[in-house]
């Protein structure tokens, strides 16, 4: 059972780590993918803004066409054509729809854009403020709302900032460069705050859901472990219960059988003294066996909520004396019982049979869990309109980690198959059941090596 529990716990823990690891891996990959998409979107926005800025300047030139010498335009276009890289265009004539396949569309697009700049920039200067406005519009359409600063540079030592830009520490910003000249010296440079933090902010919902899911998995794992541990404890209790109950039931049956056998087969019935002694022993063992069965039946009836009490007035002094006499006569170790009832005539309303069993069980436990002798004190008194009944002993005490379990059904401090102390784990459970059925309260205080005190509070 121990190996199986460890194996199950390790397997579940491994699966939990695997799920959590995959979730973290997925989040990291998702973040990286979003980061790549955002960088591509920013560069695309810079390219689109440049095309629009050129288009606006071309439109302005058309409006002022008469003031531009045609030979200047022709000469510029001719020079640009000399620098244009070769572009191969393949036409598949077999296709009826006349599909055109561009072998290097991206390279052609760059060349065309460079050609526009070479031509238009010589006729009308770049408007940085307009480009800045167009870029901001492009970014807003892409829902990229990250502060940035724009710079236009013609060479490494000469740059012009956007009118909206300020002096900044460029080392703290992500740099995006868009070049549009043959020698890659002319370019727009965007300095933008690190996008990953904005991506992280947009992922807060996913991260929260993931954290919640992982937390639920961890809580479920802990809850499952508790269930497994509880089942393991129940199995141990069950094993102890079977071992102990076997002894408890077997002992009175064996003693009674031996006594009856002696009376029938060994002539003990002819000796009045021996006959009475054996009959008394048989009667006591049968009463003990009946008590075991009665308590088991009582617990079974209580589970069905059918237990009914027959209450009457009970003198605590009288009841304590009866219990004292009962245990004085039937013990193999010295038992000292003191009675302290204040006031002496203190009376309670309870079921006589079950109340007697409560006190009997508590005294029996005190005797069982003690050394060679035991001193027990039965006391009762009034306090704050309540009656307090206590059973105190100087026995071996109860371990602190077992105090909250001793009232559980079938629970005993685990001893395996060692039967040093008789019992079957129903006594204190029965006590608590009857106490609660009377609408009373019960508590316990104990210290190992010093003893135990059970208190019943009658409201």
Domains and CATH numbers, the chain: 1-61+101-193 (no CATH), 202-300 (1.10.287.130), 311-458 (3.30.565.10)
With residues binned 3-state (H G I as helix, E B as strand, rest as coil), the percentages for the chain, rounded to 5, are: 60, 20, 25
Q: What Cα–Cα distance (Å) separates residue 77 from each residue in 21, 82, 168, 185, 219?
A: 59, 9, 39, 20, 72
- In terms of average pLDDT, the best of 11-20, 238-247, 269-278 is 11-20
Q: What is the mean pLDDT of the chain?
A: 77
The angle, 0 to 180 degrees and rounded to 10, between the axes of the packed helices 128-141 and 2-63 is: 140
Banded pLDDT at 428 (limits 50, 70, 90):
confident
SS3 392: strand
Quick: pLDDT tens for 182-229.
666 778 888 888 777 778 887 888 888 888 988 888 888 888 888 888
**Whole-prediction pTM:** 0.45
Those residues whose C-beta lies under 8 Å from the C-beta of residue 329, and which sit 6 or more positions away, are none
Quick: pLDDT tens for 109-146.
667 777 777 778 778 888 888 888 898 998 888 888 88
- Residue indicated by tokens 């408890």: 248
Between residues 72 and 376, the one the model is more confident about: 376
Cα 455 versus chain centre, distance: 37
Quick: pLDDT tens for 331-368.
667 889 999 999 888 999 999 888 988 998 899 888 88
Please give the share of the chain, as a percent, with pLDDT higher than 90. Answer: 13
Those residues whose C-beta lies under 8 Å from the C-beta of residue 313, and which sit 6 or more positions away, are 347, 348, 349
Q: Is the distance from CB of 336 to CB of 409 less than 8 angstroms?
A: no
β-partners of residue 390 are 379, 455
Provide the b/e sequence for 35-65 (b: ≥16 CB within 10 Å): beebeebbeebbbbbbebbbeebeeebeeee
β-partners of residue 179 are 187
Q: Is the distance from CB of 11 to CB of 17 less than 8 angstroms?
A: no
Max CA separation in the chain (angstroms):
152
């Amino acid at each position: 059972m121990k190996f199986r529990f460890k194996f199950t716990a390790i397997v579940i823990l491994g699966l939990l780590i695997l799920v959590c690891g995959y979730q973290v891996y997925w989040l990291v990959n998702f973040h990286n993918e979003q980061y790549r998409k955002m960088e591509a979107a920013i560069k695309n926005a810079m390219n689109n803004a440049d095309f629009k800025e050129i288009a606006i300047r071309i439109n302005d030139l058309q409006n002022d066409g008469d003031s531009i010498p045609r030979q200047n335009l022709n000469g510029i276009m001719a020079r640009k054509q000399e620098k244009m890289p070769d572009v191969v265009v393949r036409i598949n004539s077999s296709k009826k729809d006349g599909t055109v396949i561009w072998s290097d569309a991206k390279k052609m697009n760059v060349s065309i854009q460079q050609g526009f700049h070479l031509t238009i920039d010589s006729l009308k200067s770049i408007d940085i403020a307009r480009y800045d406005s167009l870029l901001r519009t492009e970014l807003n359409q892409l829902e990229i709302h990250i502060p940035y600063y724009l710079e236009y540079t013609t060479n490494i030592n000469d740059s012009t900032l956007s009118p909206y830009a300020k002096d900044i520490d460029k080392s703290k910003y992500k740099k995006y460069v868009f070049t549009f000249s043959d020698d890659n010296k002319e370019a727009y440079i965007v300095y933008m705050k690190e996008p990953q933090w904005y991506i992280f902010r947009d992922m807060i919902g996913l991260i929260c859901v993931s954290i919640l899911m992982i937390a639920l998995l961890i809580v479920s794992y802990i809850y499952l472990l508790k269930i497994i541990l509880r089942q393991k404890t129940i199995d141990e209790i069950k094993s102890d219960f079977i071992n102990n109950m076997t002894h408890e039931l077997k002992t009175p049956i064996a003693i009674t059988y031996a006594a009856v056998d002696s009376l029938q087969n060994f002539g003990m019935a002819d000796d009045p003294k021996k006959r009475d002694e054996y009959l008394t022993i048989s009667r006591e063992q049968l009463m003990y066996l009946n008590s075991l069965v009665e308590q088991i039946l009582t617990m079974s009836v209580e589970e069905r909520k059918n237990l009914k009490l027959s209450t009457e007035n009970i003198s605590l002094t009288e009841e304590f004396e009866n219990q004292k006499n009962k245990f004085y006569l039937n013990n193999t170790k010295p038992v000292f019982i003191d009675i302290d009832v204040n006031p002496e005539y203190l009376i309670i309303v309870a079921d006589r049979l079950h109340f007697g069993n409560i006190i009997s069980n508590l005294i029996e436990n005190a005797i069982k869990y003690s050394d060679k002798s035991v001193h027990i004190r039965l006391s009762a008194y009034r306090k704050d309109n309540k009656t307090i009944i206590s059973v105190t002993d100087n026995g071996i005490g109860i371990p602190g980690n077992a105090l909250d379990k001793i009232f559980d059904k079938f629970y005993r401090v685990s001893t395996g198959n060692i039967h040093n102390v008789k019992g079957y784990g129903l006594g204190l459970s029965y006590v608590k059941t009857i106490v609660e059925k009377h609408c009373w309260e019960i508590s316990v205080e104990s210290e190992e090596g010093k003893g135990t005190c059970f208190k019943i509070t009658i409201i």
